[in-house]
Amino acid sequence: MITLHRLGHSTEPLHLNPDLITTIEAHPDTVVTLATGSKLLVAETPEEIADAVKSWRAEILDEAFRRRQLVEA
């Protein structure tokens, strides 16, 4: 999960499964469109969201490789 903040609710984190994200647009506010058709207005920039998704995916892959090495050892 990545952590985002709804626009105007900076103290309330929103945890989102990045696999649900289909598009991220700036209008100038950032709009995240989900596979369900829902749209979220968030405080983060598209670049910040993309970086969070990349980090999340790298974490998942790193953990998978570590577990595989334990099984093979």
Residue 68 is predicted with a pLDDT of 87
Listed by start position, the domains of the chain span 2-72
Handedness of CA 41, 43, 49, 55 (dihedral sign): negative
Mean pLDDT, all residues of the chain: 95
* Residue of 68, 11, 20, 66 lying closest to 40 (CA atoms): 20
Q: pLDDT tens digit string along 2-28?
A: 999 999 998 999 999 999 999 999 989
Residue 63 is predicted with a pLDDT of 94
- Say if residue 73's pLDDT is above 80: no
Q: pLDDT tens digit string along 37-70?
A: 999 999 999 999 999 999 999 999 999 999 988 8
